[in-house]
Amino acid sequence: MSAASYSLEQYVADLREIAAETVDEDEILRRVGPLAQRFVADRSWLQPKHYEADTEQGFGVHLLHEEPDHSLAILVLSWLPGRGTPPHDHGTWAVVAGVEGVERNVRYNRVDDGSRDDYAELEVKHEFDAHEGELVCMRTGGIHKVTNETDNITLSVHTYGRHVNYTNRSQFDLDSNQRKSFIVRVE
């Protein structure tokens, strides 16, 4: 084992320590980001099944770790070429680290007053490409969409304060301004 290796077990232990020490999301993102980069650089955890994707969903979701209370979830997402997500939030903080390929990210601002549960108006805030080893960090309430604009499957590791299927998160339709629940299939 090389000095640079950083296992899933070590990453989880470090996440637990951070979660025990602070609830400040800025501090969490600042501390988790470099650890996520270290974890994805190791790749000893990477298996062929992590490249499998759900064709209906457009991406695969593979669970690496989740605490019994659904906190501190670590997922590998495999993105099919030309596919992605609708604009969505996570309902928790998120640190995404690129593993393989390039993923297009679009971040949004919500511009309506938030008074209706089923309605949201969004405007583009920022667009960028996230490459291997790069981070996308989001506080609770941040809205973005991800697209794989390449010809190959791309991979990223997503670390969340809580598993996204247990956060009451939302997806957004830019044409109708409809806001609805967003649950993903986990393989």
For the stretch 73-90, pLDDT in tens is 999 999 999 999 999 999
At 130, give phi and psi (nearest 5°). -105, 120
Report domain extents, the chain. Answer: 8-181
At 129, give phi and psi (nearest 5°). -100, 135
What's the topology of domain 8-181?
Answer: Jelly Rolls (2.60.120)
pTM: 0.94
pLDDT tens string 22-57: 999 999 999 999 999 999 999 999 999 999 999 999
**What residues are paired with 74 via a beta bridge?**
65, 159
Distances (CA, A) of 88 to 21, 41, 73, 77, 138: 29, 27, 18, 15, 12
pLDDT tens string 144-164: 999 999 999 999 999 999 999
